[in-house]
Structure 1
Amino acid sequence: MTERRLELDLELEADPEEVWEAIATGPGISAWFVPQRVEPREGGAVEQDYGSGYEASGRVTAWEPVSGEGRGRFAYGSFDHPEDGRPDYAYEFIVEGRDGGGTVLRFVQSGFLDGTDWDGEYDSFDAGWRLFFTNLRSYLEHFAGQRVQNVVTMGYTAGSASEVWPVLHRALGLGGHPAVGTEVTLAPDGPAPIAGVVDVANEEFLGVRSAGGLHRIGAEGADGCGVSAYHYFYGEPVDAPALTADWQEWLTRLFPVPAGSPEHR
């Protein structure tokens, strides 16, 4: 079967060294993606925490820190080949300095298998990476170099994202999906309110940038829907475990785990 590739380019107003630190080190990646640990060498381990007990691991396949020419390359993939018929994803980040300043970041995810079975998964990865790279841009622009504390929670419910969003809007104290640039206050029942400006608003995600962090609510899927609440708190310390428990309880109360599903206890 023919391999499919997801390719994205970002122009960033940051030095190549700053971008390298953000995409190739555990603390840097955690500041815009998910909590992560990276051994800084080819063959080193990569460990990722997606929240709610879902973790993934892999190995570094390329480790080429930014050179004097302003170019670097970081790549990772799975430790073991997946079961037959499953895609074997690999991820590559290329950092290139621009003439006159700034950096171009080139990203490639490979390992998709051509065919209708993977179209939905491909589209989901595309939407997810575009959100995370928006996080990266915001992090570099507003919070660069600050220590991050992550709050990462996930859930699942029957139905579609179009059915789930009205539930999320009401639970956040919103009248609907606000436009980018709107000042809002998220007021969930349980977790503390969050005031800020909307910086992401599309079919899959609602994002708010507060004075101290980035806050992302997600609903993805047409036949069964994944829901998520990711928060990145920068600078001043917060009680991340307590906040994680609060947001997970909020999600689970809104969308109880369906009986009979693998997650049901």
Structure 2
Amino acid sequence: MGHQWEQRDEATVGASVEEVWEAIATGPGIDSWFMGHSEVEPGPDGAVRTSMGSFTMDSTITGWEPLHRFAHRGADGPDGRFIAYEYLIEGRDQGSTVLRIVASGFLPGDDWETEFEAMSLGGAMYFATLVAYLNHFAGLSGQPINVSGPPVTDWPTAWAELHHALGLSASPRVGDPARATVPGLPAVEGVVDFVNPQAIGIRTPDALYRFIRGYFGSIVLGHHIFKPHNTDTDTAQAWRTWLNGLPA
């Protein structure tokens, strides 16, 4: 069977058209808010490559109008699976910008509903992360850290323990203060700036932290920090140890 899907998002951000283009159409820009590590070969015949551990997603650029439109689409799988993104940029007065994103694709099989739910909830988080980046850190390059915890056997318990470790209630809301102590790293002190059933985001004065229910059944941390700090290896290992210490 399968399902053809489309998801639309729109926001007005306090960043210039140039800053928005840098965030969506360059490797360092995408690294500052999205998962994994991305490289962009610019131009109408270019490509986008995003690496997430052992998995790499290659996309062909299908729309290249600098400062106005950027689009790319992954190759079709043998079962028809694909995913595509289109970004539309429109400048407004006083330096603000309207950003519209259309994500679309095809999910094969009769059990597409579960994957679509996870993709939709994850997509909402990453759009919110892009908006947070443009509103608070536009023009800065964020160094990405991506770490997975151990396999989760009981998600309600795992989320409750994560919320507790972040100094939050069992039902956190946007605006709630958050605090975490990660041995070897500075204390994390910020506010919840995103929450849904499968993700939570924390924003601090110098970083964005995203915790999401990973596709392979573990809590995944996406961490983007906007000031000099420890090496990737040191930071990733500290967070991995912290996640491994949460009851799963």
Q: TM-score, normalised by structure 2?
A: 0.85
1:248 aligns with: 240
For residues 40 and 49 of structure 1, the distance between their equivalents in structure 2, rounded to whole angstroms, comes to 17
Q: What is the CA deviation profile of residues 61-95 of structure 1, one whole-angstrom value per residue up to 9, with x for unaligned ones?
A: 221102xxxxx1111122x4312x24111111111
Q: Which residue identity lines up with residue 26 of structure 2 in the other structure? A: T
Amino acid at match of 1:59: T
5 Å-filtered alignment, 1:17-28, equals 17-28=18-29
Distance, in Å, in 1 between the alignment partners of 2:29 and 2:41 is 13
Conserved in 2, the CA contact under 8 Å of 1:149 and 1:237?
no
Is contact 1:184–1:195 with CA below 8 Å preserved after alignment?
Answer: yes
Deviates more, 1:228-237 or 1:247-256: 247-256
Tell me how far apart the structure 2 counterparts of residues 54 and 190 of structure 1 sit (CA, whole Å): 29
Does 1:95 pair with 2:89?
A: yes
Deviations 1:101-139 (A, max 9, x none): 522222112222487522222222221122112212221
Question: Which residue does the alignment assign to 1:46?
Answer: 48
User: How far has the Cα of 1:213 moved from its partner?
Assistant: 0.6
**Which of the residues 115, 125, 131 maps onto 2:119?**
125
Mapped partners of 1:115, 1:8: distance in 2: 26
For 2:193, what is the secondary structure of its paired residue?
Answer: strand
How many residues are aligned here?
A: 246
Distance in 1 (CA, whole Å) between partners of 2:14 and 2:186 is: 33
What's the TM-score once normalised by structure 1's chain length? 0.80
Matched, 1:203 2:197: yes
Preserved contact between residue 127 and residue 204 of structure 1 (Cα < 8 Å): yes
Alignment partner, residue 217 of structure 1: 211
Tell me the residue number matched to 2:224.
Answer: 232
The superposition leaves residues 20-67 of structure 1 with CA deviations (integer Å, 9 ceiling, x where unpaired) of 1111111111111132110111232312133x433322222221102x
List runs of 5+ in structure 1 lacking aligned partners.
67-71, 257-265
Q: Which amino acid aligns with 1:16?
A: V
What is the identity, as a one-letter code, of the residue corresponding to 1:74? Answer: F
Cα distance in 1 between the residues matched to 2:169 and 2:197: 16
SS of alignment partner, residue 112 of structure 2: helix
Alpha-carbon separation, structure 2, partners of 1:53 and 1:255? 26
Give the counterpart of 1:76 among 68, 72, 75. Answer: 72
Residue 187 of structure 1 and its aligned partner are, at CA, apart by 2.2
Distance 1:189 1:168 in 2: 16
| Aligned with residue 137 of structure 1, among 128, 131, 139 | 131
Letter of the 2:225 partner, please give it: F
- Identity value in percent: 35
Q: What are the equivalent positions in structure 2 for 1:146-225 lying under 5 Å apart?
A: 146-155=140-149, 157-172=151-166, 174=168, 176-188=170-182, 192-219=186-213, 225=217
Q: Which moved more, 1:106-115 or 1:3-12?
A: 106-115
- What's the secondary structure of 1:135's corresponding residue? helix
Q: Rate the CA distance shift 1:54–1:153 in 2: closer, same or farther, 3 A.
A: farther
